[in-house]
């Protein structure tokens, strides 16, 4: 991950008239990329002054109109090295439905009949429907990088 890649992603999003989140785009990064960024003196100096203005849980810092947010479960892929995707996202690039049909199912002890002869088993489960969809591919950029 380099400063040049971040500037290029911001330029692409601005050219595509992408709306921001309060003046900034959001960059979702892997924890290994975060570790490299925090060792970059330019990034560290730029984010040091904005440390008290954190908006998102997991926010690493702001740099070139991007709010960097850590995502522990961001999937990587392999070529000759491990490749880490960073997603730089503008507002309305994707959409999500609200939780619909959330239902909690609870069965008290003894409700399983002979499968629970001692009346000691209790079960709790839940089910729901959810959908996320990309609304405009031009309003998000994927940066691929290695990490140390």
- pLDDT above 90 as % of the chain: 34
**66 - beta bridge partners?**
25, 63
Q: What is the pTM of this model?
A: 0.73
Residue 32 belongs to some domain of the structure: yes
Residue 46 belongs to some domain of the structure: yes
* Domain interval for residue 71: 3-94+136-145
Q: Taking residues 9-13, report their average pLDDT.
A: 96
pLDDT of residue 136: 95
Q: Taking residues 95-118, report their average pLDDT.
A: 82
Q: 3-state class of 3 per DSSP? A: helix
In the chain, how many domains are there?
1
Q: 3-state class of 100 per DSSP? A: strand
pLDDT at 69 over 80: yes
Which is more confident, 107 or 10?
10
Report the C-alpha gap between 44 and 97 in whole angstroms: 36
pLDDT at 99 over 90: no
Residue 125 belongs to some domain of the structure: no
Residue 100 belongs to some domain of the structure: no
63 touches 23 (CB < 8 A): no
pLDDT of residue 78: 82
**Where does the pLDDT of residue 141 fall: very low under 50, low under 70, confident under 90, or very high at 90 and above?**
very high
pLDDT of residue 55: 58
What is the tens place of the pLDDT at every residue in 111-121? 877 777 888 88
14 touches 65 (CB < 8 A): no
84 touches 71 (CB < 8 A): no
pLDDT of residue 80: 85
Residue 43 belongs to some domain of the structure: yes
CB atoms within 10 A of CB 74: 16
Residue 103 belongs to some domain of the structure: no
Residue 117 belongs to some domain of the structure: no
């Amino acid at each position: 991950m380099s400063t040049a890649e971040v500037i290029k992603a911001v330029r692409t999003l601005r050219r595509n008239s992408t709306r921001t989140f309060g003046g900034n785009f959001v960059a979702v990064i892997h924890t290994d990329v975060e570790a490299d960024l925090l060792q970059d003196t330019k990034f560290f100096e730029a984010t040091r002054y904005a440390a008290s203005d954190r908006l998102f849980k997991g926010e690493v810092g702001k740099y070139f109109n991007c709010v960097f947010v850590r995502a522990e479960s961001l999937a990587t892929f392999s070529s000759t090295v491990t490749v880490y995707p960073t997603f730089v996202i503008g507002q309305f690039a994707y959409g999500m439905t609200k939780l619909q049909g959330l239902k909690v199912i609870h069965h008290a002890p003894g409700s399983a009949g002979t499968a629970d002869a001692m009346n000691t088993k209790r079960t709790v489960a839940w089910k729901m429907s959810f959908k996320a969809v990309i609304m405009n591919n031009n309003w998000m950029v994927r940066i691929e990088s290695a990490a140390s």
